[in-house]
């Protein structure tokens, strides 16, 4: 699924109330700009290749171990609880209720329903950076193994900049601490996965919202 926003999303009222929100939105925006900058480089190096990801294509969401950082998980919860339309909230509830019963819960994402990403505007960095060329992934295929030349390698400086923007959420504020945390890859030490993350608070919020409306 590939749909790069043309403008950085802004939520001025919420960003005033929730200081972490600007960090997250800025970081996600930098990642999207990194993908936009990396695509022509990949195509120049691999003439004739076109992006295979498209709306409704979701094999990667079903059977990968998808990384998510705590800040990204907080952002997903916020987005669904405060910004999503009622119909999306109801879909998220359906997806979360179904998730533990899916055949393979050793991997995958709880937010894919009927081939759609229910949290697309705030999907994690891992999802944003994962772009496959030529043909879409087959279910169970890991193109990084089967055809690594078909997988985008995003320009690394964008990810480093995005990680740096997120670090204040974890208590890093001073210049030298930020530099060190980027060098130490601090974010990797707190990264979990979409399928193992505890979404119970979000589930309770959408249950209350759907019931109350």
Binding stretches for ligand SF4 (CB under 6 A): 1, 61, 66, 109, 111-112, 117, 119, 123, 127, 194
Picking from 96, 105, 95, 94, the residue whose alpha carbon sits closest to that of residue 62 is 105
Cβ nearer to ligand SF4, comparing 80 with 117: 117
Cβ nearer to ligand SF4, comparing 109 with 162: 109
Residue 1 C-beta: closest distance to ligand SF4, Å:
6
Residue 127 C-beta: closest distance to ligand SF4, Å:
3
Residue 91 C-beta: closest distance to ligand SF4, Å:
11
3-state secondary structure the chain: CCCCCCCCCCCHHHHHHCHHHHHHHHHHHHHHHHHHHHHHHHHHHCCCCCECCCCCCCHHHHHCCCEECHHHHHHHHHHHHHHCCHHHHHHHHHHHHHHHHCCCCCCCCCCEECCEECCHHHCCHHHHHCCEECCCCCCCCCHHHHCHHHECCCCHHHHHHHHHHHHHHHCCCCHHHHHHHHHCCHHHHHCEECCCCCCHHHHHHHHHHHHHC
Residue 191 C-beta: closest distance to ligand SF4, Å:
14
Cβ nearer to ligand SF4, comparing 88 with 182: 88
Residue 31 C-beta: closest distance to ligand SF4, Å:
13
Cβ nearer to ligand SF4, comparing 61 with 71: 61
Cβ nearer to ligand SF4, comparing 112 with 167: 112
């Amino acid at each position: 699924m590939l749909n790069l926003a043309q403008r950085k999303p802004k939520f001025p009222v919420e960003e005033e109330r929730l200081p972490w929100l600007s960090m997250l939105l800025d970081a996600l925006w930098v990642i999207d700009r990194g993908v936009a900058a990396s695509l022509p480089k990949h195509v120049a190096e691999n003439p004739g290749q076109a992006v295979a990801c498209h709306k409704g294509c979701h094999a990667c969401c079903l059977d990968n171990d998808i990384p998510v950082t705590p800040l990204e998980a907080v952002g997903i919860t916020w987005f669904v609880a405060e910004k999503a339309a009622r119909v999306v909230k109801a879909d998220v509830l359906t997806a979360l209720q179904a998730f533990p019963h899916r055949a393979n819960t050793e991997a995958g994402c709880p937010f894919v329903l009927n081939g759609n990403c229910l949290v697309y505007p705030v999907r994690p960095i891992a999802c944003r950076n994962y772009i496959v060329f030529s043909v879409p992934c087959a279910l169970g295929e890991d193109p990084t193994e089967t055809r690594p030349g078909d997988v985008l390698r995003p320009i690394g400086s964008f990810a480093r900049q995005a990680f740096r923007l997120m670090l204040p959420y974890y208590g890093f504020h001073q210049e030298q601490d930020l530099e060190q945390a980027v060098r130490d890859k601090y974010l990797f030490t707190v990264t979990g996965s979409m399928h193992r993350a505890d979404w119970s608070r979000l589930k309770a919020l959408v249950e209350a919202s759907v019931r109350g409306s």
